[in-house]
Amino acid sequence: MSRRSLLTLIGATAGSAAMLRAMTTMGHAQESDYKPVKLEGDPKGASVVILGAGLAGMTAALELRDAGYKVTILEYQKRAGGRCITLRGGDEVHEMGGFVQKVGFSEGQFFNNGPWRIPHHHQGVIHYCQRLGVALQPFVQENLSAYLHSKDAFDGKPQRQSWIKADYQGHVTELLTKAVNAGALDDEVTGETKDMLLESLREYGALDKDMRYASNIGTSNLRGYDKPAGGGMTSAPVPSTPIGRDDLLRSGLWHHLREHDIYEHHAPLFQPIGGMDMIARGFANEVGDLITYDARVTRIAQSETGVTIDYDSSSGEGEGGQVTADYCVCTIPFSVLGQIEADLSSDLQNAVDTVWYYEGFKAGLEMKRRFWEQDEKIYGGITFTDLSIGQISYPSADMMSAGPGVLLGAYQFGKPAYEFTALTPEQRIERCLADGEKIHGPNYRQEFTAGASFGWHRNSWTLGCYGHWDEYGDTFFKACEVDRRLVCAGEHLSQWPGWQEGAILSALDAITRLHQRVIAG
């Protein structure tokens, strides 16, 4: 039995978690920097208050509680999970500035307005999914049937990714073979090596016997056919015609070809079945009894013997209070921590003041039917465009179902993100539809039923999407140190910023060093 057959069998019979463990054992899913934490030694009933019930805070709470600590969590929202969030029908989105959206998605439909994919090498996230019983399924990152689009290229008509990828590598390899044959690389390759290079270029670029990239069965087997092979009297395939080299280069669409090759996007990727917040719910099932919700931290004080945290009601509907503990794990984003009265060392305060947070915008669009599958044969993956929406991602769940589906209708950072959030929620959705129909045609608007948008820089509990360091130098490492009775953690204190893996790895590192200090007395 081949490895692929074995893994497929394991996945079909025992689920994705078992398949992932098998992949790791067989060397197909290498671990990240994640190592299971071991907090050995008796903390003698020491107490810890954790600020924030995101993934970093709940990871810290789970491990510290299991190690014998008395744990309390203060959470700003009325839900756990932080940026691990999913919008469903009936939810409300409140933005700074007063905009309120009521999500109108159908039953069972959802939109991951925070994290939306898990690389296979994010072993920390995968470990806790397995431990907490969170089922995973594949997330389709690359789909050569999806589109690349520019309003200024090919008369604004979208191009299949397979066309751009095959034609780019074909034209480049043809040029390279001409350089080799002209002797331009004789100082680099000669003799048998030169022959092998030419043969590899011919095969890789689907060049013909004359080393040309042209319309034929070989090139069409990479880029797709005008008419694919069939059966009977009309079964012969009809080759497609490659895009001209100069037109392809001028289009600029080759910019997107490396998107799926970066380490974070190496296949396979995964997603929780039913929405990303299934991870948050899994953690909350374990540590939810430790969480005080609707708690906005207003002051953090340290003394020789402990910490004191003052808080009030985030919504104004509840009561505030005060928590004292021996130690504190602070997972509040630095964008928010910088606005809280906090007794921090000068090094830590400098780090808080140094980090800036990316803006970020997403929009989810529910369609009555999955026309991208039924009409255009696109199953998962991402279309990239230079229009204001940036990209369209097609759902990897419920493929081939007859019912509705939710597209990621826009995903932007920088200036476009600010431009979107300067609009009303209704105007944002209209812009998404106007851009989307330039790629998918009238179906995009005709099939639309409901939309929701989310600006990460417009919500009060993060004031941004994720943290950014200009360099990982002394300031970063000073921020990771234990500051008397307090230690900070979160994706902003990892070298996986913006990823759930970063939040988990940072939390495990922080509590390990805090525990060592506690045990050492």
Domain co-membership, 179 together with 324: no
Can you give the pLDDT at residue 281?
Answer: 98
What is the dihedral sign for C-alpha 476, 477, 481, 483?
A: negative
In a domain? residue 6: no
Give 72-125 as a DSSP string: EEE-SSSSSBTT---EETT-EEE-TTS-EEE--PPTT-EE-SS---EETT-HHH
In a domain? residue 419: yes
Residue with tokens 């996007």: 265
Write the pLDDT tens digit of every residue in 311-338: 999 999 999 999 999 999 999 999 999 9
In a domain? residue 500: yes
> Residue 19 above 60 pLDDT?
no
Q: CB of 325 within 8 A of CB of 72?
A: yes
Using alpha carbons, select from 341, 310, 305 the residue that is nearest to residue 323.
310
Q: At which of 255, 290, 307 does a domain end? A: 255
Neighbours of 320 (CB within 10 A): 14
Alpha-carbon span 100 to 93, nearest angstrom: 6
Q: At which of 418, 438, 458 does a domain end? A: 458
Q: CB of 99 within 8 A of CB of 459?
A: no
What is the dihedral sign for C-alpha 13, 17, 20, 24?
A: negative
Band of pLDDT at residue 36, cut at 50, 70 and 90: confident
Alpha-carbon span 504 to 57, nearest angstrom: 9
Sequence-ordered list of residues with C-beta below 8 angstroms from that of 456, at least 6 positions apart, any chain: 83, 358, 359, 360, 361, 462, 464, 465
Structural domain for 385, as ranges: 87-115+359-458
Q: What is the pTM of this model?
A: 0.91
Q: Which two tokens stand for residue 409?
A: 């209708």
Alpha-carbon span 340 to 297, nearest angstrom: 7
Domain co-membership, 322 together with 364: no
Can you give the pLDDT at residue 403?
Answer: 87
Q: CB of 146 within 8 A of CB of 394?
A: yes
CATH number at residue 389: 3.90.660.10
Write the pLDDT tens digit of every residue in 77-97: 999 999 999 999 999 999 999
Q: CB of 79 within 8 A of CB of 291?
A: no
Domain co-membership, 366 together with 318: no
Domain co-membership, 77 together with 92: no
Write the pLDDT tens digit of every residue in 167-225: 999 999 999 999 999 999 999 999 999 999 999 999 999 999 999 999 999 999 999 99
Q: Is 393 helix (H, G, I), strand (E, B) or coil?
A: strand
Over residues 345-365, mean pLDDT = 97
Using alpha carbons, select from 81, 31, 38 the residue that is nearest to residue 58.
81
Band of pLDDT at residue 32, cut at 50, 70 and 90: low
Q: What share of the chain is helix, strand, coil (3-state, %, to 5)?
A: 40, 20, 40
Using alpha carbons, select from 180, 181, 193, 146 the residue that is nearest to residue 165.
146
Neighbours of 76 (CB within 10 A): 23
Round the average pLDDT of the chain to a whole number and report it. 93
Q: CB of 468 within 8 A of CB of 359?
A: no
Using alpha carbons, select from 359, 446, 439, 372 the residue that is nearest to residue 407.
372
In a domain? residue 64: yes
Using alpha carbons, select from 30, 3, 18, 51 the residue that is nearest to residue 461.
51
Over residues 382-392, mean pLDDT = 98
Beta 70-74 vs 47-51: how paired, if at all? parallel
Amino acid letter, 428: R
Domain co-membership, 92 together with 67: no
Domains of the chain: total: 3
DSSP code at position 261: T
Domain co-membership, 479 together with 345: yes
Neighbours of 224 (CB within 10 A): 16
> Residue 26 above 80 pLDDT?
no
Alpha-carbon span 280 to 132, nearest angstrom: 10
CA distances from 385 to 155, 440, 516 (A): 14, 12, 50
Q: CB of 163 within 8 A of CB of 74?
A: no
Write the pLDDT tens digit of every residue in 132-160: 999 999 999 999 999 999 999 999 999 99
Q: Is the peptide bond before 268 cis (omega within 30 degrees of 0)?
A: yes
Domain co-membership, 200 together with 283: no
Domain co-membership, 451 together with 372: yes
In a domain? residue 22: no
Alpha-carbon span 27 to 502, nearest angstrom: 23
3-12, 77-86, 393-402, 476-485: range with lowest mean pLDDT: 3-12
Over residues 269-291, mean pLDDT = 98
Over residues 293-322, mean pLDDT = 96
CATH number at residue 284: 3.50.50.60
Domain co-membership, 480 together with 344: yes
> Residue 72 above 60 pLDDT?
yes
Write the pLDDT tens digit of every residue in 436-462: 999 999 999 999 999 999 999 999 999
Domain co-membership, 68 together with 208: no
Domain co-membership, 236 together with 371: no
CA distances from 207 to 173, 193, 215, 225, 374 (A): 8, 19, 10, 16, 33
In a domain? residue 105: yes
CA distances from 229 to 218, 233, 234, 236, 265 (A): 13, 11, 8, 5, 32
Using alpha carbons, select from 503, 387, 494 the residue that is nearest to residue 83.
503
In a domain? residue 108: yes
Q: Which two tokens stand for residue 169?
A: 């590598």
Amino acid letter, 330: C
Using alpha carbons, select from 165, 163, 117 the residue that is nearest to residue 140.
117
CATH number at residue 237: 1.20.1440.240
Q: At which of 222, 255, 288 does a domain end? A: 255
> Residue 369 above 70 pLDDT?
yes
Neighbours of 405 (CB within 10 A): 22
Can you give the pLDDT at residue 35?
Answer: 83
Domain co-membership, 78 together with 222: no
Q: CB of 80 within 8 A of CB of 285?
A: no
Alpha-carbon span 170 to 202, nearest angstrom: 9
Phi, psi at residue 215, to the nearest 5°? -75, 115
Please name the helix (run of DSSP H) or strand (run of DSSP E) that holds residue 431, with its range, or none. Answer: helix 425-440
Number of residues written out for the chain = 521
In a domain? residue 60: yes
Q: Is 207 helix (H, G, I), strand (E, B) or coil?
A: coil
> Residue 24 above 80 pLDDT?
no
Q: Which two tokens stand for residue 457?
A: 């820089």
